[in-house]
């Protein structure tokens, strides 16, 4: 159905506030969810009514654990709020030292569309890498197994260039968990090769993957994208967001919660900002000049979502699946 963007924004804020968030924290969480929804990303409003945004009283207090010359370790807070603070801290450090490395632990996911945080860094003029390991929550099987041992473990990067930014954001699972949730709500099948049922057999039935467990537990498992290649990237995310961030992982240190890794780099650190901007623009122009396959076009990461968001802003309305919108409205009512 078509929903007015103004109504969507008001309803999302009401849902976040119903979960107990106020002030700046409520604004950040709503902004992250709307960023995703307005770009057609499955990390949006379906999280509010399904436990993807935990109640405020279930979140540990935010604190700064330690700071070093070009790094900081944060702890607690809602994952989206902590990630914004980590991104801003990384930029501050990079502004002074050329590089800012920040991690956070003891948060509860979902962190939402982490391209939001990478873009925030790029908008400040810095190169970004953001990864989130999902703590003790397991939904994804390592390559060669059907047993969940990993989170969906998303990663994002952003590179500013003269005229914009390249923003890439993906789960290292073959599908994001909330992509599976949305498929179940819509009654749609999953793509082949994405899900496994409780017996370890391939399935396109989202309900068989999710099972009947409490909260965000899964009854089956998701696979990693591109087989062993996605598994390798998922493990990278897990190491940065658990061992490096002193956060938990499935089967170990789960009391330390989920972990986020944020890296901000001054693009002029090695060759100067002007030279970087010139060369990055030349590279972007070269990519755009690639001859497209018939019926297709060459798009940079993030451009499709930006176009959807721009159209929603232009028209003042957005298409949202009936089941997802009605679920949010029932929750808020």
Q: What pTM, to 2 d.p., does this model score?
A: 0.94
Residue 154 — left, alpha, or beta (φ > 0 → left; ψ -120 to 50 → alpha)? beta
Q: Which CATH class is domain 1-57+303-333?
A: mainly alpha
CATH number of the 59-172+227-289 domain? 3.30.1370.60
- CA–CA distance, 53 with 35 (Å, rounded to integer): 15
Instruction: State mean pLDDT over 187-201.
Output: 95
pLDDT above 70 covers what percent of the chain? 98
Asked if 280 contacts 159 with a C-beta cutoff of 8 angstroms, the reply is yes
For the chain, which residues make up each domain, given as ranges?
1-57+303-333, 59-172+227-289, 174-223
| Interval 1-10: pLDDT, tens | 999 999 999 9
pLDDT at 181 over 60: yes
Joined together, the tokens standing for residue 13 give 């804020």
Instruction: State mean pLDDT over 73-84.
Output: 97
Q: Regarding the domain delimited by 174-223, which CATH topology (the fold level of the hierarchy) does it fall under? A: Wheat Germ Agglutinin (Isolectin 2); domain 1 (3.30.60)
C-alpha distances in Å from residue 3, one per residue of 316, 319, 322:
9, 6, 10
Residue 275 DSSP label? H
- CA–CA distance, 40 with 115 (Å, rounded to integer): 13
Number of Cβ atoms within 10 Å of the Cβ of 243: 14
């Amino acid at each position: 159905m078509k929903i007015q963007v103004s109504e969507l924004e008001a309803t999302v804020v009401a849902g976040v506030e119903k979960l107990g968030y106020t002030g700046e924290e409520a604004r950040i969480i709503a902004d992250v969810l709307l960023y995703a929804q307005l770009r057609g990303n499955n990390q949006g409003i379906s999280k509010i009514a399904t436990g993807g945004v935990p109640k405020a009283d279930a979140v540990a207090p935010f604190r700064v654990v330690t700071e070093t010359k070009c790094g900081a370790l944060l702890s607690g807070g809602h994952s989206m709020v902590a990630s914004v603070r980590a991104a801003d801290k990384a930029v501050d450090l990079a502004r002074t030292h050329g590089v800012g490395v920040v991690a956070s632990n003891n948060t509860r996911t979902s962190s939402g569309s982490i391209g939001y945080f990478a873009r925030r860094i790029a908008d400040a003029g810095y190169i970004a890498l953001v990864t989130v390991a999902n703590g003790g929550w397991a939904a994804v099987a390592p390559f060669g197994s059907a047993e969940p041992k990993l989170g969906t473990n998303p990663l994002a990067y952003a590179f500013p260039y003269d005229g914009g930014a390249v923003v890439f954001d993906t789960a290292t699972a073959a599908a994001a968990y909330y992509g599976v949730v949305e498929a179940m709500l819509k009654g749609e099948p999953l793509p082949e090769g994405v899900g496994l049922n409780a017996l370890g057999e391939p399935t396109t039935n989202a309900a068989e993957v999710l099972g009947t467990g409490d909260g965000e537990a899964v009854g089956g498992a998701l696979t990693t994208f591109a087989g062993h290649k996605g598994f390798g990237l998922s493990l990278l995310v897990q190491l940065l967001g658990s061992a490096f961030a002193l956060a938990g992982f499935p089967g170990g240190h789960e009391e330390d919660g989920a972990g986020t890794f944020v890296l901000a780099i001054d693009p002029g650190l090695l060759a100067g900002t002007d030279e970087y901007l010139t060369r990055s623009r030349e590279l972007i122009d070269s990519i755009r000049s690639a001859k497209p396959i018939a019926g297709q076009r060459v798009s940079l990461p993030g451009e499709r979502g930006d176009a959807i968001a721009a159209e929603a802003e232009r028209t003042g309305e957005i298409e949202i699946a009936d089941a997802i919108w009605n679920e949010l409205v029932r929750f808020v009512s």
